[in-house]
Amino acid sequence: MQINKLRGKELDQLFKSVLSLNDLEECYRFFDDLCTINEIQSLAQRLEVARMLKDGKTYHKIETETGASTATISRVKRCLNYGNDAYEMALDRIKEYEEAPVKDEE
C-alpha cells in the first residue's frame, strides 16, 4: 500500500476521526471544516468514477457525466484493477445500505 509511507500518529488521528462520525450530517459538518470544496468534490468525483467504471461505463461517458479528466479516470481504473479493493468494498457497502429494507419504528 502506498499510504503505508504516510502511516503515523496524524494519519491515525484523521482516520479515527472519520470512523467516529455517527451519521451523514456529521460527515457533512466534519468534511466542511476539514476540506476545501474542491477537495470534497475531487473525492466524491473519484468515487463516482469508480462506480461508473465498475458498472462498465466508457471513459467518454464518465468524462462527460462527471467532468473527470482521462488521467483521473485512468488512475481510478488502475486502483480498481491493481489496488486494495477498497473502492469495490465501499461501493458494495453503499449498495447494500441503500437496498436494505427500512425497519419500522415501533
CA dihedral (49, 54, 55, 58) positive or negative: positive
pTM to 2 decimal places: 0.87
Evaluate whether 31 touches 40 at the Cβ level (below 8 Å). yes
- Provide the pLDDT for residue 62: 98
Check pLDDT > 90 for residue 106.
no
pLDDT tens sequence across 17-62: 999 999 999 999 999 999 999 999 999 999 999 999 999 999 999 9
